[in-house]
Amino acid sequence: MVDFTLWDIVRNLLLAARWTVILSVIAFIGGGLAGLILLVLPLTGNRVAELAIGGYVQVFQGTPLLMQLFLLYFGIALFGVDTSAWTAACAALTLYSSAYLTEIWRGCVASIPRGQWEASSSLALSFGQQLGHVILPQALKVAVPPTVGFLVQVIKGTALASVIGFVELTKAGGMIANVTYQPMLVYGCVALIYFALCFPISLYAGSLERKLNVGRR
């Protein structure tokens, strides 16, 4: 049996953490784009879209991310498409993020007073103009802190991709723990790396939030 130094462990974990970061970024950006579409569709007053998207959000927020991963992993295979853990993880986390981001942003848009919609429509602005020039610029300001905060949830969510066999930080931790027989040390390091990724983002989100609240008084 080879001996592993602490540095060996940390180095391998850091290499695997790249995949955690890449997966997070893809899910966050993909989910953001999809979320934006899901946000705007029901605002046009389309009742069917509104109900469908409400259901979509409800389903993704009301079921375990782990199940969503399994379903995509095995579901894509049903279509005869060869799935890798990587594709399934990207797809599942993107859908998951889109549902949460839509919900977060919907709340921000809803927090814009009705008078802003009324004033802008009484000035003959079109729906797109109302959205682009009046509503979204205001909603954006409120949306930034919770959106940044949600990034932490995405990063933590990517850990579940380990269960379907995608080798990111958590999975690598399990593999290294198995060969080093030092599970406590390894999982401790894994946790600290997640912490190092997430905590600064949490702090930043918190400070944005406080700034926003101060600005409002």
Partner 1 sequence: MRIALDFAPMLAQWPLLLLGAAWTLGLTAISTLLGGIIGTGCAWARARGAAPLRLAVGAYVELIRNTPFIVQLFFIFYGLPAAGVLLSPVTASILAMTINLGAYATEIIRAGIVTTPRGQIEAGESLALSRVQVFLHVVLPPALKRVWPALVSQIIIVMLGSAVCGQISVEELSHAANLIQSRNFRAFEAYILATAIYLVLAIGVRRLLYWAGPRFVFGR
Partner 2 sequence: MSAAADPAPAPDTVLATPHTEVGAPIVRITALRKSYGDHEVLKGIDLDVMRGEVVAIIGKSGSGKSTLLRCINGLEVFQEGSLIVDGKPLLHDSALAMRELRQRVGMIFQSFNLFPHLTVGRNVMLAPRLVKKRNAAENEARARKLLERVGLAEKFDAMPDQLSGGQQQRVAIARALAMDPGVMLCDEITSALDPELVGEVLRVVESLAEEGMTLLMVTHEMNFARKVADRVIFMHQGRVHESGAPDAIFGAPQTPELKQFLSSLHD
Q: Three-class SS of residue 111?
A: coil
179 is in the binding site of which of partner 2, partner 1, none (Cβ under 5 to 8 A by kind)?
A: none
Cα 168 from chain centroid (whole Å)? 16
d(CA 9, CA 5): 7
Question: Tokens for 34?
Answer: 């999809």
* Cα→Cα distances 95→32, 106, 172, 179, Å: 10, 16, 24, 35
Residues at the site binding partner 2, with contacts judged by CB under 8 A: 113, 115-116, 118-127, 129, 133-134, 137-138, 141
Binding mask 83-122 toward partner 1 (x if CB under 8 A, else -) reads ----------------------------------------
Q: Which is nearer to partner 2, 143 or 177 (CB)?
A: 143
The CB-of-118 to partner 1 minimum distance in angstroms stands at 29
Q: Which is nearer to partner 2, 85 or 139 (CB)?
A: 139
The CB-of-120 to partner 1 minimum distance in angstroms stands at 31
**Maximal CA-CA distance, the chain:** 77
Q: Three-class SS of residue 124?
A: coil
Residues in the chain: 217
Residues of this chain that interact with partner 1 (CB under 8 A) are: 58-59, 62-68, 70-71, 74-75, 77-80, 152, 156-157, 159-160, 162-163, 170, 173-174, 177, 182-188, 190-191, 194-195, 198-199, 202
